[in-house]
Amino acid sequence: MPVAVVTGGNSGIGAALARELAARDWHCVLIARDEERLRSVASEVGGEYEICDVGDRKAVERTAAKVIERHPAIKLLVNNAGFARGPGERRSPGFDADPERIEALFRVNVLGAVWCLREFLPALESGRPSHVVNVASVAGTVAISPGMYSATKHALVAFSRALAANPPAEGVQVHTVNPGFVETPGFPQRVRLGPRLADRIVVDPEYVARRIVRAVERNRPEIFVPSWYRVPAAAQALAPGLVSRVVGRWSARRASRR
């Protein structure tokens, strides 16, 4: 039975992916900070779990060592852990946020993927052909206010694309996944956007999970979920000034409604 390690596996896309993989006879090792929900999902899919803050390099080193001791060969690593805003925050941190919040955002959303890949790479080499999936965001291809979350996802997209072009080891393929608006506990999109708009552009975690599995099976280096999100990403690359103005006006209208 192939082994998959999924960070942020306690809810949202990570939990949905664990269920999708388990249905396809994968054994999942789930990693997150919330033990209660993590234990519940691991039990549901017949997998294992480890409590770990991926933004803490030493914690990742300890966790990876324990997992690799049990599973020396790993076929799939999914760097899914990430956050936009904390409990009680109305929006993700901006430039004027507390420095600690900005640092936490970069540690988890960017460095978490770096530390996990570094530590799990030996097991991925033992399990090759193997795959790494970095769950980034459309916000990593289109700059979205207030900026800090988008900046972390831009960094993750660049890191992931560079690895896809020059894999970290022979036989280890890297995939970049850029979801758009997804309804998860940390991202209550339908509440934020309203039912009329949400019905058109928001997808469920299960849909993203199926697309991730398909990308791995078909060895696609980068996908957008849904695929039409590739259009604004292309527009940002071709006309960054225009897109910035449009996004800025949209963000200002949303802020005025709060």
Separation CA 143–CA 149 (nearest Å): 9
Neighbours of 171 (CB within 10 A): 12
CATH numbers and ranges of domains, the chain = 3-257 (3.40.50.720)
End-to-end CA distance of the chain: 49
pTM of the predicted model, to two decimals? Answer: 0.89
Q: Annotated catalytic residue: which of 49, 149, 207, 229?
A: 149
**229 is known as an active-site residue:** no
CB distance 216 to 175 below 8 Å: yes
> Could you tell me the sign of the dihedral formed by the alpha carbons of 41, 153, 114, 91, in that order?
negative
> What is the spatial distance between Cα 199 and Cα 99, in angstroms, rounded to a whole number?
36
Tens of pLDDT along the chain (258 residues) come to 999 999 999 999 999 999 999 999 999 999 999 999 999 999 999 999 999 999 999 999 999 999 999 999 999 999 999 987 655 555 666 667 788 988 999 999 999 999 999 999 999 999 999 999 999 999 899 877 768 899 999 999 999 999 999 999 999 999 999 998 786 665 555 445 545 544 456 789 999 999 999 999 999 999 999 998 898 888 888 877 776 676 666 555 655 555
